[in-house]
Amino acid sequence: MSCKSWYAVHCEARKEDMAAAAFQTQFALEVCYPQVHQRRQGRLRTIAFFPGYLFVHTDLAETGQSCINALPGVRRLLVFGTAPPPIAADVIAAIQAQVRHINDTGGLPRRHFVPGQAVQVSSGPFAGSTALFLGAVTARERVRVLLEFLGRPLEVQLDSAAIESQAPGADPLPSNCRTEPQRVRGTRGRGRVIRSAAPVPEALGSERPGCAPAGVGTQPRVPKFPLSCGHTFS
């Protein structure tokens, strides 16, 4: 009686497709190779959800671990301790459901940034500028960043494809954002609270020098104005 289970397989770099095809053609085995859509530079492409790995449904007593390791594109069957651990069918089903959900909702975001993270603008009128990531704006891959323009902080909206992670060793913040933030007084003395005191923005953290978006703290409101490219930033 066959006793099949799911197992994880470590593949050679960018050869997951080759390994999946080998399992299907040589052993007629069921393979789970999760792939998700991702948009880059306006184009939708398909990438591995777990780069370098796939899952195969087999009975190791019939297939043999050495036969699996010898397949084209396969590095080895993933082993913990002395034996490859089986993966529950519910886990595989959950992975497949998550992949379907990601693809049905537009695919995987291009990159993951957190508020307050230093980023580099790679294209557009601000290409080469260092900025602070403030957050996403809409579902159309637009993001908000804070950068230095004409000697003052400016909040702009950019396409998410126009920013990338800060290069190692580069200046993490615009020059006018490196000064210590002004301390906001919270009491009038004798414990009397000033209720109108402006809080320090949480996105920038309490230990990191930051410059608040326009309208917060002591930063002046930057009016909207058109640039030569015809876009309006605020």
Q: Are 117 and 194 in contact (CB under 8 A)?
A: no
| Joined tokens for residue 184 | 């906001």
Q: Which of 18-27, 154-163, 181-190, 225-234 has the lowest mean pLDDT?
A: 225-234
Alpha helices in 64-199 (DSSP H): 65-69, 89-104
State whether residue 120 is helix, strand or coil. strand
Tokens 């693809």 belong to which residue?
A: 103
Q: Quick one: pLDDT at residue 157?
A: 82
Closest CA to 58 of 29, 96, 83, 26: 29
Q: Which secondary structure element, helix H or strand E, spans residue 62, and what is its range?
A: helix 60-63
Q: Are 78 and 8 in contact (CB under 8 A)?
A: yes
Q: Which residues contact 138 (CB under 8 A, 6 or more apart)?
A: none
Q: Are 71 and 6 in contact (CB under 8 A)?
A: no
The residue ranking higher by pLDDT, 44 or 62, is 62
Q: Quick one: pLDDT at residue 115?
A: 81
Q: What is the pLDDT of residues 79-90, one digit of tens each?
A: 998 999 999 999
d(CA 137, CA 149) in angstroms, rounded, equals 21
Q: Quick one: pLDDT at residue 232?
A: 41
Closest CA to 211 of 164, 140, 143, 149: 149
Q: What is the pLDDT of residues 136-192, one digit of tens each?
A: 766 556 777 777 777 778 888 887 777 777 766 565 555 555 434 444 455 566 666
The residue ranking higher by pLDDT, 38 or 5, is 5
Q: Quick one: pLDDT at residue 200?
A: 43
Domains along the chain?
5-104 (3.30.70.940), 118-185+198-223 (2.30.30.30)
pLDDT > 50? residue 114: yes
Length of the chain: 234
Q: Quick one: pLDDT at residue 168?
A: 61
Name the DSSP class of 188. Answer: S
